[in-house]
A and B are shown apart, each in its own frame.
Chain A
Amino acid sequence: AQTVTQSQPEMSVQEAETVTLSCTYDTSESDYYLFWYKQPPSRQMILVIRQEAYKQQNATENRFSVNFQKAAKSFSLKISDSQLGDAAMYFCAFFGNEKLTFGTGTRLTIIP
């Protein structure tokens, strides 16, 4: 079974600064996908960024980028130029064995 661990229950960052959210996972599979989802107060799950395990290049989406270390089974999310709208719960998720497993989440607060 796969597990996803987010060791930071809460994080805060000054507006316009950079913050990194940590995620580690455990699996015996070689082919899988990794995701970061954002859940604002509305509770709608929003995909932030995705990474295919077979790709060595780290994914980037505008202000969001990941540091994917396959050997270490680490998948951190970096948010640059943080904005007030980035405030939300962030979930790291692993897709393998036909299902999505979520971490426990990190609540990100943006300080104006």
Chain B
Amino acid sequence: GAVVSQHPSWVICKSGTSVKIECRSLDFQATTMFWYRQFPKQSLMLMATSNEGSKATYEQGVEKDKFLINHASLTLSTLTVTSAHPEDSSFYICSAHRRGGLADFYEQFFGPGTRLTVL
């Protein structure tokens, strides 16, 4: 199967600091990776789409200077929350689309998520 990992699984930081979350596809190459945010008891909201070697595409309303996304390789994407504040506390989930997948089939593989708590 296709496995996606995230690190860390849980992070607590002080207000004003920056936090980096890593998303890795462990056994496949990902053409595209996605970052979602999920508030308690709510749905997943797409924040941005990243393709290896190019700039991320952010959804409307997502501050690109606050949520920095770097897709350095076909197996790694990082999300950096800069100058974090308590309102940034949330559950962040990444997913990856497998490169070379069937052209007539689409599936995203999800990481286990990262819980961010900003004090």
User: Which residues from chain A sit less than 8 Å from chain B, CB to CB?
Assistant: 33, 35, 42-45, 47, 50, 52, 91, 95, 98-105
Contact = CB atoms under 8 A, between A and B. Distances in A.
Interface of B: 34, 38, 42-46, 49, 91, 93, 95, 104-108, 110, 112-113
B112 A42 contact: yes
Nearest to B112: A44
A47 B107 contact: yes
Chain B contact residues: over half helix, strand or loop, or mixed?
strand
A57 B75 CA distance: 35
A109 to B, nearest CB: 14
Nearest to B44: A102
Given A33-B106, A45-B110, A91 B44 contact: yes
B108 A100 contact: yes
A5 to B, nearest CB: 11
A52 B107 CA distance: 11
Nearest to A105: B43
Given A95-B108, A104-B42, 12 more contacts: A35-B107, A42-B112, A43-B113, A44-B110, A45-B44, A45-B110, A91-B44, A95-B106, A99-B34, A99-B46, A100-B95, A102-B45
A33 B101 CA distance: 15
29 contacts: A42-B112, A43-B91, A43-B93, A43-B112, A44-B110, A44-B112, A44-B113, A45-B44, A45-B93, A45-B95, A45-B110, A50-B107, A52-B104, A52-B105, A91-B43, A91-B44, A95-B106, A95-B108, A99-B34, A99-B46, A100-B95, A100-B108, A101-B46, A102-B44, A102-B45, A104-B42, A104-B43, A105-B42, A105-B43
